[in-house]
Structure 1
Amino acid sequence: MNTLATPSPSALVHPALHPDERAARLQLAACYRVFAMLGWTEMIYNHITVRLPDSVTGGEKQFLINPFGLHYSEVTASNLVKIDLEGRVLDGSTHAVNPAGFTVHAAIHDGLPDAHCVMHVHTTAGVAVACLQGGLQQTNFYTAQLHGMVAYHEFEGITIHADEGPRLLKSIGERKAVILRNHGLLAWGEMLPQTFAILWTLQRACEIQLATLSMGAPIPVSEAIAERCTRDALQFNPAHGAGRDVFDALVRQVDRIDDSYKL
């Protein structure tokens, strides 16, 4: 009688993970569940991507992305897909990757050396501000922490054309908070928690602006005050944890609800 257990599909796809890849998969899968908990989902669309470290790739540019067709609440460490800059699957996964999603991410990962993580959302508040003629206004506590950090990129339609990449990079420059006109919000950073902190602040700024404009004319924040607020805000700074404490607190909340992302 054969008593050997049949390997799980995930074990067949990922027979022997490097510890650094395993850590990256766990953190990214947890982040997808955090987004789901916060309501930052768009059916099966949008993406959070992470560039794997050289210790895993030997210097090649390789990335983890969500499987196309799954809701964020279904993403796990093992079903994340490893791809290259062209979106080719590298780990034997049978899951598809959405090319419209990775076009933008590939351009940023490839063109910005510090872009370890890229996040993109279509939240109602984010898209609303992206569609507003004046964009994000310097009128609240959260916008005041993003002084000089927000870039804008003009709408060019569905992001499936690689030739948009250079124009996107030119629009972004070195600014880590990005408003894609008529489209949504994007953030990138040197580490996943930092990227999350930037996107959360940008999203919160949009929510407050949306609420404020529904009531009347907002009170502007001066350039001097906004500049000082951004300088005093430490949540994006790697020397001060770069949002790790906030992100970890949200992961603990996810763990209490459903920790199946660890599979």
Structure 2
Amino acid sequence: MAVPARASRSVRRSRRFELRSTALYFVLLAVVLVLVGTAVRTAAAAAERRPAWAVALVLVGVGGVVAFCRRRRRISAARLARHAAEALDEATNTAVEALDTAPPAPAADLVPARTGPRGGRPDAERTIPLPEPVNEASADPGEVGYEELDPAEFEQAIAELCRRDGCLDVDVVGGAGDLGADVLARTPDGRLVVVQCKRYCDANRVGSQDMQRFGGTCFTVHGADVAVVVTTSDFTAPAIEYAEQCGIVCMDGQELLRWQHGVGPRPWEPEFVAG
């Protein structure tokens, strides 16, 4: 005897099974699409560094598609997922190896060469001579125009003359509170030279008051072995008389030029002091 109720249940079960299969199919399809997209992005990144790897991956994919079409058999969901995972793992390993073994880009590719104006040499290759720093105080004393220097530069120029002629421990100490000493130097034989610098014009000569102020400190305060007053102009007669009494060496503009050009005695030399 036929049982209609069981037939009805059988139809329902068949329909429920088809819905589950369809849902599983779409889920697997989405997973496959995600895996394929990831593989494509990985392959594209590897292709930027190693185009040969990209060609190899394409050939492998084409070979897999051809083999799949030839086999023409149903693939279970588990096998499809396993193959997709293996393909993704292989593509990832290939991309990692390609990135690890990629050679560093040459400097020419990292920094584009810039050409000079009108297609000339690149700026990186162009040699631009830099001007040498000019220090008037440290210039060759033979080329110094003392009348063009300010008082501080004149002191530096006298110090350079002392260094040129072998003095040691040359120091410029002129300024506020210098007590008459502008340049201190030690001669090659060890004597202390104390120099006062007077950069005056021709119409302004060193007077006795200037000489007396220097004479009151050069020996007692600074302990000079040789005290020198150097000027670009000249000395008055009272100043010269006071200097002779105190043993101060007076060097006027003419004698300074002779010292500058190396044709006259140095102010600490015996012949100059005697003169």
Q: TM-score range, shorter-chain basis?
A: under 0.3
Q: Which has the larger radius of gyration?
A: 2
Higher relative contact order (CA 8 A, sep 6+): 1
Q: Taking structure 1 as the reference length, what is the TM-score of the superposition? A: 0.26
